C-alpha cells in the first residue's frame, strides 16, 4: 500500500472515557451524527448525538445530564457538556487526523478518519491499544481506491496456531461485525479461555497482520 492517503475505519469496545458509547450501551440503541465543539477556556466540550428511535419513544428521557434539542420521526437529538478527557476521538486527533465520522451502538464505538500514510495508522492503532481493550482495525482504503480494501498478500504463517484459531473463531462468530454478532466473552467461552487471554491472543494476531500490511 503506497503512502498516498488512507481512509481508516476502526472500532473500540466499551471505551470507558467515551460518553456516547456508554449512553448507547445503557439505552440499547444506536447513537449517530455525533458532533463536538472545541474545548472552551475551561476545557468544557459540548457534544451532540442522535439516538435512533423506531418507536418514537426514547430510553434516555430520565437522563438529567442530557438535554433534548431536536426531535424527528427517526430519532431524538441530545446535547450534553463534558470536560475534556482522553476519549478515543481525542486520542486519534492528537496525531493530527480529525475524526470524520462517529457512531456507537451497544457500547461499541465505531469511527472513520483519514491518515496521510500507513505509519500514522500504525501509530494511532498502537496508541489506542495502549489505552483501550477491544480495538479492531476494520478496514483501510487507499486514496483513489474504489474497493473497500487493497489486495495485499498477508503471510498467515506468522500467526501461531492458537492466534489463528482465536482470530478465525472471532470472525466466524461475528465479533468484527457491526453491530457485533458476539462479544469478547462469547468468543472466549467458545474457545474455553478467559476474556483476558482472548484479548491477548487477538491483539498479538492483529499486530502481526498489521505489520504484514505495513511491510507490503
CA 6 vs. chain centroid, Å, equals: 17
Q: What is the mean pLDDT of each run of 10 residues along the chain (216 residues)?
A: 71 78 82 87 87 61 83 84 79 91 87 88 87 81 59 62 89 80 90 92 82 56
* Rounded (10°) angle between helices 195-215 and 118-131: 170
In this prediction the pTM is 0.65
Dihedral angle, C-alpha 44, 25, 138, 175, nearest 10 °: 160
d(CA 209, CA 163): 11
Q: Specify the pLDDT at position 82.
A: 82
Q: Specify the pLDDT at position 187.
A: 92
d(CA 192, CA 174): 17
Spans of all domains in the chain: 6-142, 156-215
Question: Which ranges in 28-82 belong to alpha helices (H)?
Answer: none
d(CA 113, CA 99): 5
d(CA 77, CA 98): 23
Q: Specify the pLDDT at position 156.
A: 64
At 26-47, the pLDDT tens digits run 887 788 889 888 888 888 889 8
Taking phi over 0 as left and psi of -120 to 50 as alpha, with beta for the rest, 48 belongs to: beta
Q: Specify the pLDDT at position 87.
A: 79
At 146-187, the pLDDT tens digits run 554 444 445 566 788 898 899 889 888 988 776 778 888 999
- Angle at the Cα of 8 (from 184 to 26), degrees rounded to 5? 40
Peptide bond into 123 cis (omega under 30): no
Q: Specify the pLDDT at position 15.
A: 72
Look at domain 156-215 and name its CATH class: mainly alpha
Amino acid at each position: 500500500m503506497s503512502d498516498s492517503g488512507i481512509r481508516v475505519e476502526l472500532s473500540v469496545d466499551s471505551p470507558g472515557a467515551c460518553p456516547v458509547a456508554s449512553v448507547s450501551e445503557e439505552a440499547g440503541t444506536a447513537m449517530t451524527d455525533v458532533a463536538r465543539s472545541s474545548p472552551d477556556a475551561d476545557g468544557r466540550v459540548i457534544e451532540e448525538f442522535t439516538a435512533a428511535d423506531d418507536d418514537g419513544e426514547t430510553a434516555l428521557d430520565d437522563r438529567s445530564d442530557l438535554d433534548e434539542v431536536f426531535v424527528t420521526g427517526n430519532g431524538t437529538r441530545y446535547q450534553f457538556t463534558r470536560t475534556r478527557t482522553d476519549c478515543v476521538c481525542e486520542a486519534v486527533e492528537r496525531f493530527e487526523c480529525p475524526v470524520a465520522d462517529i457512531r456507537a451502538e451497544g457500547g461499541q464505538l465505531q469511527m472513520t478518519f483519514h491518515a496521510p500514510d500507513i505509519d500514522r495508522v500504525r501509530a494511532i492503532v498502537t496508541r489506542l491499544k495502549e489505552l483501550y481493550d477491544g480495538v479492531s482495525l476494520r478496514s483501510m482504503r487507499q486514496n483513489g481506491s474504489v474497493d473497500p480494501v487493497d489486495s495485499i498478500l498477508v503471510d498467515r504463517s506468522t500467526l501461531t496456531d492458537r492466534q489463528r484459531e482465536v482470530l478465525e473463531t472471532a470472525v466466524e462468530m461475528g465479533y468484527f461485525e457491526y453491530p457485533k454478532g458476539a462479544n469478547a466473552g462469547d468468543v472466549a467461552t467458545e474457545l474455553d479461555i478467559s476474556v483476558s487471554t482472548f484479548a491477548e491472543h487477538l491483539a498479538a494476531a492483529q499486530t502481526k497482520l498489521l505489520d504484514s500490511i505495513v511491510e507490503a
